[in-house]
Amino acid sequence: MSQNTLTLQLFFEEPIKLKIAQLTYQYLCSDNTEQAQRWADKLGASDLEALWDAQWFNTSVSAATTHLLLRFDTGTSDPPPLRQIETLFAHGLRAAVLEIFYDQVGETERMHFDRGQWVSRKAFMDANPQWRTVVEPAQQDSEDSEGAADDPYACSKDPAKPLAVAKMRQQEEKRMREAQEAAEAFIDMARAMGKSGKSPMQGLIAVLLLRAGLKGLLHAVAFTVVTVLLFKGFWLWMGLGLVLAVALPLYYIVTEHKELRGDDGDDDANPPGDDGPATVMAPQ
């Protein structure tokens, strides 16, 4: 079964916060929620669900003098632990590095967080040079590394500008909610069409064709607005816009329909009723 493997490095403002967080997560890994709750209260984060997702598995925790290291696996469709990172930033966390290995595609992604924000790798290192050797251990030079990429940290995923973790979490929750609503809407449509004796696939095709038509209409409207505003000849561009408002939706619908049907224009090698040249039997 495919899964995502996550490694989370947590750097705290104070050693005491690091120790309390260590005890909290060690008890969570051992399913001792009573003791975990006790230390979470001392950390200031009384809501265990805000620190730990019950869906995580293959969990482990270890601590060094500088940081706390969490490892766990999640489902391929599960979101990153943004809620947990946000909660920890509110209770003594200074910086964090999240690394996700996507087993399904064999790719790794690394994200850097500093003082409650998702930041670029460079910004993280500039703000926390003392943790460079922890976050990015030196590469070992060997013959086996000849095929490696020139940049060993190319997997770093950097934002265009710093983004608050709270904002990231809200965006991710919105995306998940919209995906769930879309899935439920499709299921409802399939059920309704099943009751009416129609194939759900026909309903999906109808939706795609409608979307193609709306796309053509929007393009026609955009063309008309731009040309009317930028060029002379109001009635000329309005007339052309009306023509496009009819032609473009039809064109997009026909094109989409052909793609859905997979029309390739190939004719049969032997048309119906043509059995090929007759075989002449030699006289005995």
pLDDT digits (tens, 9 = 90+) for 204-233: 677 777 778 888 888 888 888 888 788 888
**Can you give the pLDDT at residue 38?**
96
> What is the tens place of the pLDDT at every residue in 144-194?
444 434 455 568 899 999 999 999 999 888 887 777 776 666 666 666 666
Q: Do 70 and 207 sit in the same domain of this protein?
A: no
Q: Are residues 33 and 129 in the same domain?
A: yes
Do 128 and 252 fall within a single domain? no
Structural domain includes residue 189: no
Residues 99 and 147 in one domain: yes
Same domain, 131 and 81: yes
The residue among 122, 119, 97 whose CA lies nearest residue 110 is 97
**Is the residue at 284 inside a domain?**
no
Region 26-40: mean pLDDT is: 96
The pLDDT score that the predictor gives to residue 153 is 59
Q: Is residue 29 domain-shared with residue 158, that is, in the same domain?
A: yes
| pLDDT of res. 2 | 77
Q: Is the pLDDT of residue 14 over 90?
A: yes
The answer, yes or no, to whether residue 252 has pLDDT greater than 90, is no
Which pLDDT score, from 0 to 100, does residue 50 have?
94
Q: What is the structure's pLDDT at 266?
A: 46
With respect to residue 233, please indicate whether it lies within any of the assigned structural domains: yes
Q: Is residue 188 part of a domain?
A: no
The per-residue pLDDT for range 60-107, each reduced to its tens digit, is 999 999 999 999 999 988 889 999 999 999 999 999 999 999 988 889
Shared domain for 209 and 134, answered yes or no, is no
Which pLDDT score, from 0 to 100, does residue 279 have? 45
Residue type, 45: A
Looking at 30-136, list the stretches that DSSP marks H as alpha helix, in order from N- to C-terminal side. 33-43, 82-89, 121-127, 132-135
282 in any annotated domain:
no
Is residue 193 in some structural domain?
no
> Do 99 and 145 belong to one domain?
yes
Given 132, 156, 173, which residue is the final one in a domain? 173
Q: Which of the residue ranges 46-50, 195-199, 229-233 would you say has the lowest mean pLDDT?
A: 195-199
Tell whether the torsion through CA atoms of 172, 178, 182 and 185 is positive or negative.
positive
Are 253 and 132 in the same domain?
A: no
Choice among 30-34, 49-53, 166-170, 271-275 with the minimum mean pLDDT: 271-275
How far is the C-alpha of 261 from the C-alpha of 153, rounded, in Å?
Answer: 44
Q: Which helix (H) or strand (E) holds 203?
A: helix 200-230
- Cα R_g (the chain), whole angstroms: 30
Tell me: pLDDT of 245 over 90.
Answer: no
Dump pLDDT digits (tens) for 116-141: 999 999 999 999 999 999 998 754 44
**What is the tally of structural domains in the chain?**
2
Mean pLDDT throughout 36-46? Answer: 95
| In a shared domain, residues 107 and 25 | yes
What DSSP character marks residue 49? G
Same domain, 70 and 165: yes
Residue 122: give the domain boundaries.
Answer: 4-173
Beta bridge partners of 110: 99, 156
